[in-house]
Amino acid sequence: MRPLIVLAALLGALFAVRPAGVEAQTLEDLARSVEQGGGWVGIPIVAGEGSVSTPTVPTMGITLNGCVQVWGGHSGTWDIEARDLINQGRLAVKAAPGQSVPFTYTAGMRSQLTVDVAWSEPRDTTLLLWVGLERPGSSAPDACKPTEG
């Protein structure tokens, strides 16, 4: 299991970032995110590392497929580990800016996410992640292609 859908639902509720036409999501935007095919979220990074935990939210056993992508304006490489503490789901990836990483996630009735990030550069920034979602039977754009928001 790969818990990245929870990124769109939960991290967006904690962080709002708006660089150059990119807009982060709020928890209330989850339904709209699924309908629109995804959105941008931000994670604060201090001295090359960041860690966030989210509250427990209902996820109703939904299964989603999609992609996550580090914003192309970043540099270096990013080690991202997302864990769903309730459902024992885990995803660990090393991603370069602009690289799409596909995922599939089947949530339980509830989810709680912890995300740990390590950047190859020991500086401060906000990591911007595109979390794209496929919609079955839709002619929506490719989930791996970020939109401007």
**Pairing, β 125-133 against β 38-45:** antiparallel
Task: Map out the domains of the chain as residue ranges.
Answer: 5-133
Dist. CA 114–CA 34, nearest whole Å: 21
Q: Cα–chain-centroid distance for residue 109?
A: 19
Q: What pLDDT, on the 0 to 100 scale, is given for residue 65?
A: 82
Q: What pLDDT, on the 0 to 100 scale, is given for residue 139?
A: 61
Q: Domain 5-133, what fold?
A: Jelly Rolls (2.60.120)
SS3 of 73-117: the string is CCCCCEEEEEEECCCCCEEEEEECCCCEEEEEEECCCEECEEEEE
Q: Cα–chain-centroid distance for residue 28?
A: 15
Asked if 8 and 67 count as a contact pair (C-beta separation under 8 A), the reply is no
What letter represents residue 45's amino acid?
Answer: I
Burial class (CB in 10 A: 0-12, 13-18, 19+), 127: buried
pTM comes to 0.74
Dist. CA 101–CA 96, nearest whole Å: 10
pLDDT by residue for the chain (149 residues), tens only, comes to 333 444 444 444 433 333 333 344 444 555 566 567 777 888 899 999 998 887 887 878 878 788 889 999 999 999 999 888 998 888 888 999 999 999 887 888 888 888 899 999 999 999 998 888 886 666 666 888 887 65
Two tokens at 100? 């799409």
End-to-end CA distance of the chain: 28
Q: What angle do CA 91, 9, 45 make, to 5 degrees?
A: 65
Asked if 89 and 59 count as a contact pair (C-beta separation under 8 A), the reply is no
Q: What pLDDT, on the 0 to 100 scale, is given for residue 17?
A: 35
Q: What pLDDT, on the 0 to 100 scale, is given for residue 18?
A: 35
